[in-house]
Structure 1
Amino acid sequence: MSGRKIDYLRISLTDRCNLRCRYCMPHDIDSVPMSEILTYEEIREITRAAAQEGIRHVRVTGGEPLVRKGCPDCVRMLKAIPGIETVMLTTNGIWLRKFLPDLLEAGLDGVNISLDTLQREKYREITGYDGLEEVLKAVEACVSAGIRTKINVAAAREINETEILDLVRLSEKWPVDVRFIEMMPIGYGKEYHGLDNRRVLEMIKNRYPDLQEAAPAAGAGFGPAVYMQIPGFLGRTGLISPIHGKFCQSCNRLRLTSTGKLKYCLCYDDAEDLRSVIRSGETPEEKQERIRKIFRAAGQRKPAGHRFEEPDQISEKKRMNEIGG
């Protein structure tokens, strides 16, 4: 790929989810018809072309990827593509224990589990489901299985400002990375007051003044998180700060939506329609070349930076479950 190095592809398997998180998809909304969703074979062919143009790391997302039948088979399919080095999964954790053996057998390299609160009633209020205990059991199962595990926390004043330290302490109990992610003003997320990660860091430092920059860990990841270590803790604390610590110049990722749109940046609605290519009447070789050409140009197509700080410049109107988390 020319221009910026792009080696990370996030692939959304579905816009559907078994939770109703208020900042993502809180209402009963119409799901995309399955006929409009990429098949696993189409995802494989797109990823195969992407790998030939430098994509090395894939993250499977949703919606909730585990609600789509055959998710472990998709992981296995992606792992078999020449050039793909790692395949990871982002999940809400509700069905993770059920599918973990199959995911491990398929070769999954790592899992990120979304968890915004440790209070049972608040979890139910945020997600519409009494599932906190199951998610914590899923974290424990992943740790016991030895798979690289991260906990993603969407940091917002209305949700968890008073729980930051409690969430940090999960990395004392388990060898997991707890990452605080600034909420971006996309979809229903616009209705929340995202926490500035500078404030999050201040709270952590006030409680743990011996906090120090963490040395890179094996299999640490390929994204923008800045990691810190609290002495004596088994895991690390991470900050992902797209708003107050813009990392656009080093952003190495693209997003493939469940309907086949290749997105360059969350801020803008600019996207390439790969579904129309993969479903065209061209030969397999012609399709591969067209898709490769799109990925080849991706480094040049990615914008220099987002403009989330300027609401009138945000052209993306879709919800996060439609784009892919």
Structure 2
Amino acid sequence: EELLRVVRVAVGMGISKLRLTGGEPLVRNNIMHFIRHLAEIEGLDDIRITTNGVLLEKYAQGLFDAGVTKVNISLDTLKRERFAEITGVDCFDRVWKGIETALDLGFSPVKLNMVVMRDINDDELPAFAELSRKMPLQVRFIEFMPIGTSTRWTRDTYMASDEIRARFSALGELIPQKKKQADGPASVFKLGNDAVGSLGFISPISHHFCDRCNRLRLTSEGRLRSCLLHDEETDLKSVLRAGCSDADIRETLLTAIRNKPKGHQMADRMKEEGGDCHGRMSRIGG
């Protein structure tokens, strides 16, 4: 399969960590078959998955057995009715059951990704933070990014990470944690010394981390994207379909890496509602 071939070449170049995103990776046909083959690639040390959680309970055991023991779950609300309003489906209970199943099986870390939107879900910030006191979760608060033209994003719905953190001052002390590789771009804290889990703050707009970014994304259309917030892409699919060699794949990957921008200007572009990134997150992968 083309994807497996690309991964093998990438691993041969020194890439050792892979995250399956989406859209929703668990709706892919034969997803477990694909993951088991990924796990067989020597040198691929870390396979992770980002999911909406709807099918997580069903696939959690298979994922765990295949060595995928690190999971991010996108969850913007803890209210069932609001969940249906935001996502368009009444599946909150299934998602929560998936989270519980992942914890019961021993997935670690289990991260909840909450995109904070003013006047939409920011009233739930304390409830999300309290989860980290009693559950071994890393609850991550992500700035709402103006990606695509069909999102709810406006200047009014955006909340900077510093403002989000300030909301927790009444809940207890935020204790900085030593940064681990698994934390990615998040700044991590504990809400008091007795908290079982942790809180993460991801600030792609107000405190961007472009100088530390080492990610390369492959979109659902077979295009390489070296920056989530730039539209420039490198066509890998056409190279694969043209009967290429592994050396050709390697050179295409290197081209995408060389084209990686030094930074983005999203904060400046926020004056234009809709932003400068026109691809949908479901196509690009988070």
TM-score, length basis structure 2: 0.92
Choose 57-66 or 45-54, whichever is displaced more. Answer: 45-54
**Could you tell me how far apart the structure 2 residues matched to 1:299 and 1:319 are?**
21
Unaligned runs of 5+ in 2: none
Q: Distance in 2 between matches of 1:261 and 1:222?
A: 26
Cα offsets for 1:122-180 (capped at 9, x unmatched): 11111111111221111111111011111000111132111101011111221010000
Residues 190 and 130 of structure 1: CA distance in aligned 2, closer, same or farther (over 3 Å): closer
Structure-1 residue corresponding to 2:52: 92
Structure 2 CA distance, aligned partners of 1:112 and 1:315? 26
Rounded Cα–Cα distance in structure 2 between residues aligned with 1:252 and 1:194: 26
Match among 266, 275, 284 for residue 308 of structure 1: 266
Other structure's SS at 1:143 match: helix
- Match in the other structure for 1:52: 12
Map of 1:153 onto structure 2: 114
Aligned 1:230-309 pairs, distance under 5 A: 230=191, 231-282=193-244, 286=245, 288-309=246-267
User: Is 2:174 the partner of 1:211?
Assistant: yes
CA contact (8 A) 2:239 2:248 kept: yes
Structure with greater contact order relative to length (CA < 8 Å, sep ≥ 6): 1
Which of the residues 135, 138, 152 maps onto 1:174? 135
Answer with 185-194 or 141-150: which moved more.
185-194
Letter matched to residue 170 of structure 2: N
SS for the counterpart of 1:137 is: helix
> In structure 2, what is the Cα distance between the partners aligned to 1:114 and 1:273?
28
Note closer, same or farther for the CA distance 1:249–1:190 as it changes in structure 2 (3 Å cut): farther
How far off is 1:298 after superposition? 4.2
Q: Hey, what's the Cα distance between the residues in 1 that align with 2:256 and 2:69?
A: 25
* Distance 1:144-1:171 versus aligned 2 partners, 3 A rule: same
**TM-aligned CA deviation for residue 216 of structure 1:** 4.5
Q: Match for 2:268: what amino acid? A: E
Q: How big is the alpha-carbon RMSD for the aligned residues of Structure 1 and Structure 2?
A: 1.8
Q: 4+ residue stretches of structure 1 with deviation over 6 A?
A: none
Report the alpha carbon displacement of residue 233 of structure 1 after superposing the two structures with TM.
1.1
Q: Distance in 2 between matches of 1:49 and 1:240?
A: 30
Structure 2 CA distance, aligned partners of 1:136 and 1:249?
35
Identical-residue share of aligned pairs (%): 39
Q: Which runs of 5+ in 1 are unaligned?
A: 1-40
Query: Is 1:162 matched up with 2:123?
Result: yes
Question: Residues of 2 paired with 1:165 and 1:203: CA distance?
Answer: 8
In the alignment of these two chains, the number of paired residues is 278
How many Å separate the matches in 1 of 2:6 and 2:152?
A: 32
Taking a change above 3 Å as real, the CA distance of residues 297 and 281 of structure 1, as seen in their structure-2 partners, is closer
Partner Cα separation in structure 2 for residue 315 and residue 199 of structure 1:
24
Q: What is the identity, as a one-letter code, of the residue corresponding to 2:126?
A: L
CA distance in 2, matches of 1:191, 1:179: 19
TM-score, structure 1 as length reference: 0.81
Letter in 2 for 1:202: A
The reply on whether 1:73 has 2:33 as its aligned counterpart is: yes
User: Could you give the per-residue CA deviations for residues 224-269 of structure 1, whole angstroms, max 9, x where no partner exists?
Assistant: 1110012211110000100011100101101101111000112222
1:112 to 72, 96, 106: 72
Cα deviation for residue 109 of structure 1 reads 2.8
Q: Structure 1 CA distance, aligned partners of 2:158 and 2:4?
A: 36
- Alpha-carbon spacing, 1:86–1:156, altered in 2? closer, same or farther (3 Å): same
Which residue type is aligned with residue 237 of structure 1? Answer: L
